[in-house]
């Protein structure tokens, strides 16, 4: 086995992920669709079934043993996530269905309450649809103006252009920390400081960053940060919104219902305190409880070790792919994570995806929920290979071999 300079034992890590033993089209699965969702280690799967087998109960209002145990585990996960992003207070961690839900929450509560006609909202060219559409919906309703930071041909934000856009009319900035389609790591600390200097609030879409980079919301000084657990080796259907307490306190509730209230009468309802004000209804208890185990898994390996291994795969893969004739990598930022998007002259990305799948290799093809970004590059989509901690150099070699085969068949 080719070893990298890193201390991680990839063979043993692979054994933690049962799905990697799947046979696809007669071949051992090679899973390179990690930017869409990561696979789950055994301890997360065990945590899910353990919850349902031993302490499934509704939380917060019960006084019986199971309800207390479930409530304890649920709130422990909140404190675990607080630590994961270094939030000052646990009530600043709101459980949501994921990043999309977190952004919609902010647009629909902070945005609707505090943004007015003529106010400007800035996003960037490389946003995921989930960080475009909620703001367009808000602009349509309130008469706000959406502005878009342009990028260069390498897929990096043009910071000079961003600075020119900023004025006292700028009230909100919402940008992606790491691009899912290009891998670009954006200079968000600088963006946040510059936005704050004109009095704007800032939301960061951390869906792609959170599995690759250490997140410290106090160091960043962001007002809001959203992420999804399913991209950090955790379960689907849950994520968090971090928000600064004074902002969350000032915001109206999102959904109305049980748990988010203090007292209900037909004359008037008073709302619950944070974080429950934003958590109406029975939450996704099982997945929240299991999320803690995913974060424990990541922190046990060490985010720096994970990033080191992924960067080895990125460098190795980038070099090897560049040698394929007619292949062009989309997204060559100096700062990027282990995502490689590419196009091959004369071959449609969908055909590449189908032929790789026949060889057991899972990649994503298409626009990656970033259609405006694809338009910027004058393409309809790419083929994207994105690496996680359990991927190996040998698997990257299989991708290269697979692409040569595709070229022979279609090129």
Ligand X SMILES: *Cc1c(COP(=O)(O)O)cnc(C)c1O
121 or 207: CB nearest ligand X: 207
Which lies closer to ligand X via its Cβ, residue 128 or residue 367? Answer: 128
Q: How far is the CB of 127 from ligand X (least distance, A)?
A: 8
**Least distance CB 82 / ligand X (angstroms):** 20
Residues 6+ apart with CB under 8 A from 344: 324, 326, 327, 328, 352, 383, 403, 406, 407, 411
Q: What is the dihedral of CA 42, 241, 71, 235, to 10 degrees?
A: -20
Which token pair is 109?
């509560």
**Contact of 53 with 41, CB cutoff 8 Å:** no
Stretch that binds ligand X, among 63-71, 97-105, 315-323, 397-405 (CB under 6 A): 97-105
Write out the two tokens for 194: 């510059």
Dist CA 95 CA 321 (whole Å): 40
Least CB distance to ligand X at residue 223 (A): 18
Give the binding range for ligand X (CB under 6 A) out of 183-191, 203-211, 255-263, 275-283. 203-211
- DSSP assignment, residue 14? H
144 is catalytic: no
Run of H or E residues at 176: strand 170-176
98 binds ligand X (CB under 6 A): yes
Question: Does 108 help bind ligand X (rule: CB under 6 A)?
Answer: no
Give, as one character, the DSSP assignment of residue 86: T
Q: Tell me the closest approach of the beta carbon of residue 49 to ligand X, in angstroms.
A: 23
As a dihedral over the C-alpha atoms of residue 401, residue 404, residue 409, residue 410, rounded to 10 degrees, the angle is: 130
Q: Is 155 in the site for ligand X (CB under 6 A)?
A: no
By CB under 6 A, tell whether 338 contacts ligand X.
no
Q: Does 180 bind ligand X (CB under 6 A)?
A: yes
From the list 99, 210, 341, 365, which residue makes contact with ligand X (rule: CB under 6 A)? 99
CB-count burial class (<10 Å; 0-12, 13-18, 19+) for 168: exposed
Binding part of the chain for ligand X, among 204-212, 216-224, 278-286, 318-326 by CB under 6 A, reads 204-212
Closer residue to ligand X in complex, CB, 100/392: 100
- Position among 132, 176, 202, 388 found at the interface with ligand X (CB under 6 A): 176
Q: How far is the CB of 386 from ligand X (least distance, A)?
A: 10
Question: Is residue 228 involved in binding ligand X (CB under 6 A)?
Answer: yes
Q: Closest Cα partner for 40 from 191, 268, 231, 202?
A: 231
> Given candidates 128, 212, 349, 407, which one binds ligand X under the rule CB under 6 A?
128
Nearest-angstrom CA–CA distance, 386 and 183: 9
Q: Which stretch binds ligand X (CB under 6 A): 47-55, 200-208, 309-317, 386-394?
A: 200-208
Choosing from 139, 144, 222, 369, the catalytic residue is: 369
| Residues in binding contact with ligand X, number by CB under 6 A | 11
Using rule CB under 6 A, residue 208 touches ligand X: yes
Query: CB-based contacts of 63: which residues, under 8 Å, 6+ apart?
Result: none
From the CB of 330, what's the least distance to ligand X, in Å?
Answer: 16
How far does Cα 35 stand from its chain's mean position?
8
Q: If binding is defined by CB under 6 A, does position 207 make contact with ligand X?
A: yes
Which residues are CB-neighbours of 8 under 8 A, at least 6 positions away?
Answer: 301, 305, 306, 308, 309, 389
State the minimum distance, in angstroms, from the CB of residue 175 to ligand X: 10
Alpha-helical (H) ranges within 337-384 are: 349-358, 371-376
Q: Which stretch binds ligand X (CB under 6 A): 96-104, 255-263, 279-287, 317-325?
A: 96-104
Q: Is 16 in the site for ligand X (CB under 6 A)?
A: no
**Residue 284 makes contact with ligand X by CB under 6 A:** no
Here the tokens at position 94 are: 């709101």
Residues annotated as part of the active site: 369
Q: Which residues of the chain form contacts with ligand X (CB under 6 A)?
A: 98-100, 128, 130, 176, 180, 205, 207-208, 228
């Amino acid at each position: 086995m080719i070893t990298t300079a890193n201390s991680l034992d990839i063979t043993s890590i692979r054994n933690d992920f049962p799905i990697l033993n799947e046979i696809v089209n007669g071949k051992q699965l090679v899973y390179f669709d990690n930017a869409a969702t990561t696979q789950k280690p055994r301890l997360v799967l065990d945590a899910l079934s353990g919850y349902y087998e031993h302490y499934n109960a509704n939380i917060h209002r019960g006084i019986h043993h199971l309800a207390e145990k479930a409530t304890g585990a649920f709130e422990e996960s909140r404190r675990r996530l607080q630590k994961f992003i270094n939030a000052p207070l646990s009530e600043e961690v709101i459980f949501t269905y994921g990043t999309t839900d977190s952004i919609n929450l902010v647009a629909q509560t902070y945005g609707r309450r505090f943004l007015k006609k003529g106010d400007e909202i800035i996003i960037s060219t490389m946003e995921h649809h989930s960080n475009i559409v909620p703001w367009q919906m808000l602009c349509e309703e309130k008469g706000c103006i959406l502005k878009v930071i342009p990028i260069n041909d390498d897929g990096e934000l043009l910071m000079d252009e961003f600075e020119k856009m900023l004025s006292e009319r700028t009230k909100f900035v919402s940008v992606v920390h790491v691009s899912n389609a290009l891998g670009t790591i954006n200079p968000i600390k600088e963006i946040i400081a510059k936005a704050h200097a004109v009095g704007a609030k800032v939301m960061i879409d951390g869906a792609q960053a959170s599995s690759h980079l250490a997140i410290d919301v106090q160091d960043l000084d962001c007002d809001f940060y959203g992420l999804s657990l399913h991209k950090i080796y955790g379960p689907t259907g849950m994520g968090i919104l971090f928000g600064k307490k004074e902002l969350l306190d000032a915001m109206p509730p999102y959904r109305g219902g049980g748990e988010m209230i203090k007292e209900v009468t037909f004359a008037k309802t008073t709302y619950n305190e944070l974080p429950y004000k934003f958590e109406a209804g029975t939450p996704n208890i099982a997945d929240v409880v299991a999320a803690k185990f995913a974060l424990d898994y990541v922190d046990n390996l060490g985010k720096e070790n994970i990033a080191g291994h992924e960067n080895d795969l990125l460098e190795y893969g980038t070099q090897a792919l560049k040698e394929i004739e007619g292949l062009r990598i989309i997204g060559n930022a100096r700062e990027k994570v282990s995502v490689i998007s590419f196009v091959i002259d004369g071959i449609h990305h969908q055909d590449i995806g189908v032929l790789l799948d026949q060889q057991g290799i899972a990649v994503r093809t298409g626009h990656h929920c970033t259609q405006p970004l694809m338009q910027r590059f004058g393409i309809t989509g790419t083929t994207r290979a994105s690496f996680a901690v359990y991927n190996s150099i040998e698997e990257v070699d299989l991708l290269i071999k697979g692409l040569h085969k595709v070229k022979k068949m279609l090129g």
